[in-house]
Amino acid sequence: MKFFIDTANLDEIREAQDLGVLDGVTTNPSLMAKEGITGETNILKHYKDICNIVDDNVSAEVIATEYDKMVAEGKELAKIDDKIVVKIPMIKDGVKAISALTAAGIRTNCTLIFNAGQAILAAKAGASYVSPFIGRLDDISMDGLALIEQIVGIYDNYGFETEVLAASIRHNMHLIQCAEIGADVATCPLSVITGLLKHPLTDSGLEKFLADYKKSNK
């Protein structure tokens, strides 16, 4: 499973990269705004700053919602760096834009996926990734993990090369359950990735080892 960090915070991205387990970054306009990144020039520069930290897979989201504008914006984003994956919303013109960008050799991430039908359309159009938002489904009493499992099964049936990128992951068990189901990628906050490090028996065991070492080396 690939680990992406869902943030625009450079310090968090560096911390995840330094951990040695990071495979990419996902961002969106909300995350950019949270970091105070505004204005087209500053946003494009920030994407480049992210690309300079990580090895690959930086999802940069288009703002346009019309086909021609999405394609043009996607091509401009792709020029920033070879690591850029253009993030396109799951709308009719978005599917068309994914097809056009794929034909131009540009990787895409189809975002705001909430059912299997949308995931099938995105894969047929050639999306590199689809992003089902499992946390948001859970918020309205639907089973986000069941959707991941359904999409993984459908893609396996037909050999789609599109990778399932589980998004809107809220906690450690979300991530672990996505791994059990077979999601190709999980994107989540840094706290979820670092949360995997923690177990009280690890802490108490290490404390005992160190205490015993001190006793035997006086």
Asked if 199 and 218 touch (Cβ cutoff 8 Å), the reply is: no
Longest CA–CA separation in the chain, Å: 73
Catalytic residue among 34, 45, 48, 87: 87
The two structure tokens encoding residue 178: 């996505």
Helix (H, G, I), strand (E, B) or coil at 177: helix
Measure Cα distances from 157 to 127, 161, 163, 186, 197 in Å.
17, 11, 14, 21, 35
d(CA 170, CA 206): 28
Give the residue from 87, 149, 155 showing the smallest Cα distance to 121: 155
d(CA 5, CA 41): 23
Residue 75 among the catalytic residues: no
d(CA 141, CA 122): 25
Enumerate the active-site residues: 87
